Structure 1
Amino acid sequence: MTPLEPIAPAFVDMAHSIVWASVASVDANGRPRTRILHPFWEWDGTDLLGWIATVPSPVKKNHLAVHPEVSVSYWTTNHDTCSAECLVEWYIDDETRAAVWDKFATAPAPVGYYPRIIPVWQDGPTSEQFAALRLTPYRIRVMPGAVMTKGEGAPLTWSA
């Protein structure tokens, strides 16, 4: 059992059931900006990695060039929450972009979707408007809603 067990599987299950996350980055002046994104997480029994299919906007590129980290936070109406603080790397090579495209296109609902539904991605994974962000968590937290609403159990946390 790795130090991430059983937290990583619980994190992936909760994140993939909630799907949409608030993702925060920080600019060169230390000002945060959040956006709603749709990460896809992979747990192989040893490593937890996240992938975000996204438009490589100037704002995102500038923020991540200065501070290559993001905070990813999920919440749903029953108060289940999970979060990950991550190192971030851009991937703009064709092979990785195609692989990330396929991850989203072949994943089961609700986390899976066909990326071509995004209007600027009509040209597929080699579009200049399509990039992949790889997330490598250094801290994760999973808190079922019953922890807060009923005092049952405790949050699960892990730090690298």
Structure 2
Amino acid sequence: MTLDTIAPAFVDMAHSIVWASAATVDANCRPRSRVLHPIWEWDGTDLFGWIATVPSPVKRAHLSAHPEMSLNYWAPSQDTCSADCLVEWYTDDDTRVTVWEKFANGPAPVGYDPYVIPQWSDGPTSDQFAALRLTPYRLRVMPASVMTQGVGEVLTWQGRLP
């Protein structure tokens, strides 16, 4: 399947679910998962996501050792989608302000006011605010109807592996 076929379905499902379980791996190959809130952008050619996050020492160490993240979305309806991604940290002021605005002005339910996060009360240039850019190399979208009714199809796409 091509990216232009799966990307819109992935973005629609991910944005409707909003929260993703995200896994990283440390230097000793031990995984750790957390719940994060990505926002995705599809321009008809490229798909990438952004995560607004606190740049914790654990996240920094994991992504320094292995700059990949696996994200899985699940809804009670049994809709699921996932993205395996390359990850880049952005701590420059211009990018952080841009990413802050993406969330502050994003469509419901994925958009939100970043000021609600106590660590970010000083705004997008705070030391406690960073942006992660996600570049997927594998996507999977499975509507609930596939599992619960045997109707539809699982959509998968694999790009160039890191």
Q: TM-score range by the shorter chain?
A: over 0.9
Alignment-derived partner of residue 26 in structure 1: 25
For residue 6 of structure 1, report the CA deviation from its aligned partner. 1.8
1:88 to 2:61 alignment: no
Point out where structure 1 has 5 or more consecutive residues left out of the alignment.
none
Distance 1:17 1:8 in 2: 14
Offset from partner CA, 1:61-81 (integer Å, 9 cap, x none)? 000000000000000011000
For residue 140 of structure 1, report the CA deviation from its aligned partner. 0.3
Structure 2 counterpart of 1:110, one-letter code: P
Distance 1:19 1:40 in 2: 8
Alignment-derived partner of residue 48 in structure 1: 47
Q: SS of the counterpart of 2:33?
A: strand
Alignment-derived partner of residue 110 in structure 2: 111
Distance 1:5 1:121 in 2: 35
For residue 8 of structure 1, report the CA deviation from its aligned partner. 0.1
Distance 1:3 1:148 in 2: 22
Offset from partner CA, 1:19-73 (integer Å, 9 cap, x none)? 0000000011111000000000000000000000000000000000000000000
Structure 1 counterpart of 2:123, one-letter code: G
Instruction: Give 1:116-135 correspondences, 5 Å limit.
Output: 116-135=115-134
**Count of residue pairs brought into register by the alignment:** 159
Q: CA RMSD in A?
A: 0.9
Q: SS of the counterpart of 2:15?
A: helix
Distance 2:50 2:107 in 1: 15
Structure 2 counterpart of 1:59, one-letter code: V
Distance 2:132 2:56 in 1: 12
Q: SS of the counterpart of 1:126?
A: coil
For residue 3 of structure 1, report the CA deviation from its aligned partner. 2.6
Distance 1:8 1:141 in 2: 10
Distance 2:142 2:2 in 1: 18
Alignment-derived partner of residue 147 in structure 1: 146
Distance 1:8 1:15 in 2: 10
Structure 1 counterpart of 2:148, one-letter code: T
Alignment-derived partner of residue 9 in structure 1: 8
Q: Where in structure 1 do 4 or more consecutive aligned residues deviate above 6 Å?
A: none
Structure 2 counterpart of 1:72, one-letter code: L
Distance 1:82 1:9 in 2: 12
Alignment-derived partner of residue 70 in structure 1: 69
Q: TM-score, normalised by structure 2?
A: 0.97
Structure 1 counterpart of 2:69, one-letter code: V
Sequence identity percentage: 72
Q: TM-score, normalised by structure 1?
A: 0.98
Offset from partner CA, 1:132-154 (integer Å, 9 cap, x none)? 00000000000000101111122
For residue 87 of structure 1, report the CA deviation from its aligned partner. 0.1
Q: SS of the counterpart of 1:104?
A: helix
